[in-house]
A and B are shown apart, each in its own frame.
Chain A
Amino acid sequence: MALIEFQTGLGRLLREQRSSDPLHGINLDANEKQYFETLQDTAGFRFCAGIQRSWCVGRAAKSAHFTLSLMPDQERQALLDEWVDSGAGTSSFFDAEGESFLSFISNRLTDPSHELSVCHFEQATLRASNGASSYASPDLSALANVDSKLRRGRHAALVRLYLDPSLLIESMQTRKPLPPLSSEALVLMFSPGLPQLCNMPSEEEIAVWEALDAPASVGTLLSLNISPETLAPLLEQGTIEYAD
């Protein structure tokens, strides 16, 4: 058997453990197909398949640790299984898949909910830290031009928590039921240029974020009574960025 066929076959059998035809499209003769059929029945293959599965689940679980820790076991396992069945969790750089996995989870959570807030919190932390290592503040001079277009920073996020964070952490640690959502949200702004990646924004900074639901010009923002003094630090820390 050619090396590429062997590797593709073995790799697929391990990656697509729940597929009905993982060897589809591989150029195998009858003996080679028989080899893979026999291989799947060996204790060594089954052991390796179990390791592969548990490592993939473990990597995914690490990338969404806090969100998953708030979920009932059955729901948590179902999400992990669905994610791994899609072929994910295989990269040892699990952070690289972390944002995608958190997006996948967030689409299945109630809005608003504590679980969704924590999911957004994890996503925001990951996104800002991914941007932080190579972040450089832009030239602020284009803010003087009212036609300059701005948008939300690609590594920034705004997160609303509906519970004191210390109570959320306690619930994660003790697995106690979460209290009802508070009527007032604690708002956190994540930006790659902030030393701690996160701060509590002012009302005006929140207004900028909300206004940039879609890209907008500096002139448009100024017409909403947002001051240039508010825009400059947001641009400098990567909460917002030039859209051009």
Chain B
Amino acid sequence: MVAFVEVTPETICRQRGTGKTTEIEILPDLMELAQQTCGELPMVIHGVELSIGSAHGWNDAYLRMLDRFQQAWPFVWHSEHLGFQTISGDEGATLQVGVPLPMPPTKEAASLVASRSDAIQRRYGVPFLLENPAHYFSDLPTDPEIEDDIGLLHSITKGSSCQLLLDLHNLYCNAVNHKFDPFKAIDRMPLDQVIEIHVAGGSWRDGFWMDAHDGRVPEQVWEMLDYVLPKVPQVAGVVFELLEEHAVNLGPEAIAEELKQAWKIWNVHRAA
């Protein structure tokens, strides 16, 4: 039922120090446990701490950790979230915002992320994918040439070797919260660059559908998967995301059902 695993390396790491002396240290016992659990399955990386879009600089400590991680456990590809979560503080300090935030659809943002994506691709020698984020802001600064979130993805992928992790639940969140048609949005995506797809569940909070990874995949997200799979010639896998603390509540049977549903749709379109 599981063809490959996706690892978020930060979950088996600890941060040491602060500011410019920060290091992210891989915990050997957790690394060993993760490797034992995954066995011989192919593994891909899905990072959360890079902050690839931070104008003041990305997270060097994360990349140093990933260098060591790759030596210990090579990965097939590497993905990150398109966004930023750090800003500059006094005297060059880096401040965490505490939540991931979206990039504005501007030329400057596209250019910054494209050049950094190329640098990452060169550094690791495996495909680098960016994930379209869920966000709750309806009015971000925009350049007319870029227009919106999807225009930003086009601009980044055209301007770099970067490819895409299409998170269907993130797209669904944005469609629900910003009131647009997710199927039309899919049609506007750079689908020829999609290598991986995420599906997940969410929940309502304060009038917004939140990308909470706390339950089963909404029916419309399955419909989106069914819709998009014939249109993504390079896609190599689908991942069901669920936060650890919610896995217990959902239970193994429900998780297995979600995986079976993903396989069912995958096999309809990709079995050949």
Contacts and interface: CB of A to CB of B under 8 A. Distances in A.
Given A6-B141, A7-B55, A44-B137, A96 B101 contact: no
A29 to B, nearest CB: 13
Nearest to A50: B206
Interface stretch (B69-77, B91-99, B247-255, B262-270): B91-99
Interface residues of A, number: 37
B39 interface: no
Contacts of A133: 14, 25, 27-29
B139 A42 contact: yes
B97 A15 contact: yes
Which residue, of B15, B98, B108, has the highest number of chain A Cβ atoms within 10 A?
A: B98
B207 to A, nearest CB: 7
B254 to A, nearest CB: 24
B84 interface: yes
B55 A4 contact: yes
A1 interface: yes
Which residue, of A11, A43, A90, A133, has the highest number of chain B Cβ atoms within 10 A?
A: A11
Contacts of B28: 133
Given A4-B56, A7-B101, A133-B28, A96 B136 contact: no
B97 A11 contact: yes
Nearest to B11: A92
A51 B98 CA distance: 9
Given A15-B95, A39-B139, A44-B177, A93 B206 contact: no
A90 B137 contact: no
Contacts of B148: none
B25 A55 contact: no
A4 B95 CA distance: 13
A92 B10 contact: yes
B98 A7 contact: no
Which residue, of A7, A12, A42, A89, has the highest number of chain B Cβ atoms within 10 A?
A: A7
Contact of B97 (A1, A4, A6, A90): A90
Nearest to B30: A133
A216 B99 CA distance: 47
Nearest to A91: B96
19 contacts: A3-B106, A7-B54, A10-B97, A11-B101, A14-B99, A15-B95, A39-B139, A43-B208, A44-B138, A47-B207, A48-B99, A52-B97, A52-B99, A93-B15, A95-B14, A130-B14, A130-B16, A133-B14, A133-B29
Interface of A: 1-4, 6-8, 10-12, 14-15, 35, 38-39, 42-45, 47-48, 50-52, 55-56, 87, 89-93, 95-96, 130, 133-134
